């Protein structure tokens, strides 16, 4: 069977995923700040109110705790809500609902009360939105049992992760990187479902494993090309699913390359990169020919000034330097 492709932006792919979900299941509805008439703060839901009406695309008051709580209640009542939170920083206002209710109700009810809720939010820096709109806190949420954490980095994943997330009986958080919305790529029309349980090898290689996710995938792939020009063949893993981590894919790759670099837009201390590094050491220590390297954001509130923001974020040059460092150490 021939697979066709269509060019679209990451934003359009997210919108198409929402539209597909609203068409497929009458229980699905979208709710959040400005998702209706305004079309979403990042224009992801633009046009959906006109197509599906205010019962299916619902604007909410500016209270994350309230509308996330309403989404939990709707999920408990048999609906399939998609809750949009403008940015990950603002999700902290709903952390009580997410952690103490959505993630725990199934356990605390002895398996009686599943919460099939999807929460979408924008994450990441690179757009000069300063410290209250630019942080990457996915690793915080990946710490919480009871949640599935997704980080789509490609056009196909941006569209295709939503359907299996809605089919999950437990709460799923989807982190869309704001710097990706205007990026363009090919959307596959194969109709194949997206696997939200496995990482993806975006570039095979034999010399070093580069492990990343979300907005850092593009930079990591660019770093891999730079490394290739210098004779270093890097394998690039797109984690895609931050909880539960696909540990098997990571360990199998490290067993082949014997070196690892973790690229994480989060802060270094207590980060997802630290968890991944620990697991590699616990389960693949004897496969390593060099210490694990990490490339993370500077441990400061994200600056507004463009040159300072760029300096705070993982860069292609820093990724290349970390990878070549593992080659020297080995």
Question: Please, which residues have CB within 8 angstroms of residue 133's CB and are 6 or more apart in sequence?
Answer: 87, 89
* CA pair distance 2, 111, nearest whole angstrom: 43
* CA pair distance 239, 142, nearest whole angstrom: 12
Instruction: Enumerate the active-site residues.
Output: 64, 133
**pLDDT recorded at residue 24:** 96
* CA pair distance 236, 192, nearest whole angstrom: 23
Q: Contact, 265 vs 295, CB < 8 A?
A: no
Question: Please, which residues have CB within 8 angstroms of residue 247's CB and are 6 or more apart in sequence?
Answer: 279, 283
User: Which two structure tokens, joined as six digits, stand for 227?
Assistant: 């490394």
**pLDDT recorded at residue 191:** 57
**pLDDT recorded at residue 6:** 81
**DSSP label at 34?**
T
Q: What is the DSSP string of 142-175?
A: TTSTT-EEE---SHHHHHHTHHHHHH-SS-EEEE
Query: Residue holding tokens 């299996």?
Result: 164
pLDDT in tens, the chain (330 residues): 445 678 999 999 999 999 999 999 999 999 999 999 999 999 999 999 999 999 999 999 999 999 999 999 999 999 999 999 999 999 999 999 999 999 999 999 999 999 999 999 999 988 889 989 999 999 999 999 999 999 999 999 999 999 999 999 999 999 999 999 999 998 887 656 789 999 999 999 999 999 999 999 999 999 999 999 999 999 999 999 999 999 999 999 999 999 999 999 999 999 999 999 999 999 999 999 999 999 999 999 999 999 999 999 999 999 999 999 999 865
Question: What domains does the chain contain, in order, with CATH numbers?
Answer: 5-188 (3.40.50.970), 200-329 (3.40.50.920)
Longest dimension (CA), the chain: 60
- Strand, helix or coil at 109? coil
- Strand, helix or coil at 80? strand
User: Which two structure tokens, joined as six digits, stand for 96?
Assistant: 């009580």
- Strand, helix or coil at 114? coil
* CA pair distance 293, 17, nearest whole angstrom: 36
**pLDDT recorded at residue 328:** 85
């Amino acid at each position: 069977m021939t697979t066709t492709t269509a060019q679209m932006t990451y934003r359009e792919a997210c919108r198409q995923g929402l539209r597909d979900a609203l068409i497929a299941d009458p229980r699905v509805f979208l709710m959040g700040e400005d998702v209706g008439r305004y079309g979403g703060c990042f224009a992801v839901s633009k046009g959906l109110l006109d197509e599906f009406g205010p019962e299916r695309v619902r604007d909410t008051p500016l209270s994350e705790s309230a509308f996330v709580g309403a989404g939990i209640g709707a999920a408990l009542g048999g609906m399939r809500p998609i809750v949009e939170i403008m940015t990950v920083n603002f999700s902290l206002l709903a952390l009580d609902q997410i952690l103490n209710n959505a993630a725990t109700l199934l356990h605390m009810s002895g398996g009686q009360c599943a919460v099939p809720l999807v929460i979408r939010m924008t994450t990441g820096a690179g757009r000069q939105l300063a410290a209250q709109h630019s942080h990457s806190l996915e690793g915080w949420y990946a710490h919480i049992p009871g949640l599935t954490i997704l980080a789509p980095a490609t056009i196909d994943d941006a569209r295709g992760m939503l359907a299996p997330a809605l089919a999950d009986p437990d709460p799923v958080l989807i982190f869309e990187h704001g710097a990706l919305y205007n990026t363009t790529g090919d959307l596959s029309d194969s109709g194949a479902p997206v696997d939200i349980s496995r990482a993806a090898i975006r570039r095979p290689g034999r010399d070093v494993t580069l492990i990343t996710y979300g907005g850092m995938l593009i930079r990591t792939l660019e770093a891999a090309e730079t490394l290739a020009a210098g004779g270093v063949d890097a394998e690039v893993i797109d984690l895609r699913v931050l909880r539960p981590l696909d540990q098997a894919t990571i360990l199998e790759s490290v067993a082949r390359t014997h070196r690892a670099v973790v690229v994480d837009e989060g802060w270094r201390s207590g980060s997802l990169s630290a968890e991944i590094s620990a697991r590699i050491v616990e389960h693949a220590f004897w496969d390593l020919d060099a210490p694990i390297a990490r490339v993370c954001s500077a441990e400061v509130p994200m600056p507004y000034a463009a040159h300072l923001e760029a300096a705070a974020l993982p860069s292609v040059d820093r990724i290349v330097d970390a990878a070549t460092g593992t080659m020297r150490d080995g």
